[in-house]
Amino acid sequence: MKKIYISLILILIFFNNSLNAKNDLYEKIDLFGEVIENIKKDYVDDVDQAEMMDSAINGVLQSLDPYSAYMSPELFKEMQTDTSGKFGGLGIEIGMESGVVKVISPIDGTPAAEAGIKAGDYIVKIGEDQVQGKSLMEAVKLMRGPVGTSIKLTVRRKNIKKPLEFKIKRKIIEVQSVSSKIISKEKNIGYVRLKSFNENSDNQFLKSLKKFEKNLKIKGYVIDLRNNPGGLLTQAINITDFFLEDGEIVSTKGRKISETRKFFARKGDEIKGKPIVVLINSGSASASEILAGALKDHKRAIILGENSFGKGSVQSIIPLKNGGGMRLTISKYYLPSGKSISEVGVTPDILVEEIGDDFKINSDKDNQLNYAIRLFNS
């Protein structure tokens, strides 16, 4: 009888808490309606109420994290349109931070990278439009345009007082995700640069490894993930699996059971245990961090360079009834150690910051790559 009595009390408490939560929610909805009504009645200028509601919806999503966002029907349709031959891009992966667009990574060989945009830059103006107050998708829309046309970006950069201006010409962005070559005088180090994780990256990557493995002089590899903004999770898993005999590669955790999974390596190391140095920087994000983090946790590679970006989440595009859509974070990545990548990134085993204003990846001025080469010859 006592147990039944206690259970009834717990049910009543739960019901009362739920009722209070609902009442609080209804009060907030009433408050929101009151604010809208006062704006409509007393604000100094006429306000487009539909646009105001879109901004409110987007504000809710952007309060969750830098990657969730709302797309109006017009914007959602544009994002889904095949832009081949009509629109060009700049070649940057971006996110939001404190209401400002932050560059996650400029992709090698694209107009943004060639103009000098760097990971970590904050874009404060696009053309003559202030970015503050705009959504991530609105900023993307402003940066898109006809191929061959130019856009001016004004950016703020860490440790530089004055804003920097870049005039960038749009073009069709076609990224060859994998490139490779021999990089030492002794012809004994295989270098593989991975610029993104697209649908065919694993096949291209494996083809490069097999070509190198035919060279009996090869004693180790440099895998360059700098300024790689990520891409497909499956590709990160497949490429990591090339170097591991067993063990966990990555896990994802979300509220839904379907979004909570673990991925493991299959037996077989494509390079038979040869040493690996992985290069990362602040532009290495998402799938790049999975690859670098898993190899670090398994002590399969030395990670060299700078701390990675810290984008450890998965987004899904969800269509809405009004014809618009929302980009929503549905799960987070976790490394084999159980650590989350979100906001902390992957810390290199050897910290080597890029040096000089004339620094360029994979050139004579690339002090990070030169350091990696010396590791093999020490």
Tokens at residue 119, please? Answer: 């990971």
The partner residues of 154 in beta bridges, in order of sequence, read 125, 165
Catalytic (active-site) positions: 286, 297, 311
Q: Do residues 152 and 166 lie in contact, with contact meaning Cβ atoms separated by under 8 Å?
A: yes
Collapsing DSSP to helix, strand or coil, 213 comes out as: helix
User: What is the CA 214 to chain-centroid distance, rounded?
Assistant: 35
Annotate 180-206 with b (16+ C-beta within 10 A) or e (fewer): beebbeeebbbbbbbbbbeeebbebbe
Annotate 150-175 with b (16+ C-beta within 10 A) or e (fewer): ebebbbbbeeeeeeeebebebeebee
Three-state SS across 346-363?
A: CCCCEECCCCCCCCCCCC
Q: Do residues 87 and 100 lie in contact, with contact meaning Cβ atoms separated by under 8 Å?
A: no
Tokens at residue 66, please? Answer: 């830098």
